[in-house]
Amino acid sequence: MTEKPTRTEKDSMGEMTLPADALHGASTHRAVLNFPVSGYRFSRPFIRALGLIKWAAAQANHDLGLLDAERAALIARAAEEVAEGKLDDHFPLDIFQTGSGTSTNTNANEVIANRCAQLAGKRIGSREHVHPNDHVNMGQSSNDAIPSAIHISAAEQLKNCLIPALEKLQSALEAKAKEFWDIIKIGRTHLMDATPIRLGQEFSGYAQQVAYAKERAQKSIEVLRELALGGTAVGTGLNRHIDLPKKMLRHLEQRTGIAFYEAKNHFEAQGGKDAVVEASGHLKTIAVSLFKIANDIRWLSSGPRCGIGEIQLPATQPGSSIMPGKVNPVMCESRAQRDDACDGAQSSRVDPAAGERRRCFLREMRARHRGERRALPRVSRAFHGNGDRSHPEDRL
């Protein structure tokens, strides 16, 4: 078998041999070898956010006269490609790695610097035009860039994906509430018959849950707007221009439409991630609401002969390999599985105890959670073996 061509690069620890066409450099390649843990990579929204940070830093440092026009233009162009997803193949790192995300910040710096070399007609690995630390990472640190990328990526996803989806769902449920208003049915408490209720009233409750979910998503954006950018290594702002954060944030708002602002206290912003915890709490609440709606509709459509059978769901696919004609509420179940994943994998504990009424409901999620535990032996081997990838399961 023909060996792939390689090149040699140096970092502060010495030389490393890596693939000739890889845009990441020596330090990133060390992390690739050190962390063969799960096979999970950073998400597209996160890599986009990191690219936007590097783009904004290049623009801001040029505005401040710290970066010449040629270098700034090269970095901005390469960082734009990172943000657009054109260089995703050059971000190979596992999400289980150094706790600060230094490896991934370094990955971005090296990829952008090497892409700048290509754009300038130089060989990959050349530092003649753009250096990953001196220029791409100017005025930044992993300790402020990575937390900020978490905030930016989450806020963008909430603004552009979750809130529009919730708006559509709310409108659909409100329309059903009106359509079903004249339908009188039995209400239930403790799964037992109670007093009458309108089917439209039930659906109006679902619509209101989604309205509150939308408000919670907006609250999440509000707490995520505060960014650690400018704190650099430990929150003191060492090695950056005093006006850099303000100028970076102005550029970021132009690109995202979100009015991010500099942390009121950089030591809080970098020493804790309470805003992320708060946003996570809102998202878990949203997940529980959607789980409840999906499961109610699943119950109300149960049957068709021996269940509640009060509503009929569209048939989307066959429901059994052995029972002809059986159709399952698969859209409700898929919805609930996603909510379960967001709510911290409750299926591993709740579903097995639920018995007949939820048979098969979250089985796939239990399989997924068990499969994710494959990371445990891998990280153990990496920990005591200093990145040794000789074990068959570590060759991802």
Active site residues: 190, 320
Q: Is 262 helix (H, G, I), strand (E, B) or coil?
A: strand
| Axis crossing angle, helix 69-84 with helix 102-119, rounded to the nearest 10 | 120
According to DSSP, residue 226 is labeled E
The pair of three-digit structure tokens given for residue 159, joined into one six-digit string:
């603004």
Give the Cα-Cα-Cα angle 122, 128, 132 (nearest 5 degrees).
100
- Total count of residues recorded for the chain: 396
The string of DSSP codes covering 90-124 is: G---BSSS-TT-HHHHHHHHHHHHHHHHHHTT--T
Residue 289 neighbours by CB under 8 Å, 6+ apart: 209, 210, 212, 213
Q: Where are the alpha helices (DSSP H) in 301-388?
A: 330-342, 347-354, 363-372, 375-385
**Dist. CA 153–CA 51, nearest whole Å:** 11
Cβ neighbour number for residue 136 with a 10 Å cutoff: 28
Structural contact between residues 44 and 82, judged by C-beta atoms closer than 8 angstroms? no
The pair of three-digit structure tokens given for residue 378, joined into one six-digit string:
């891998």
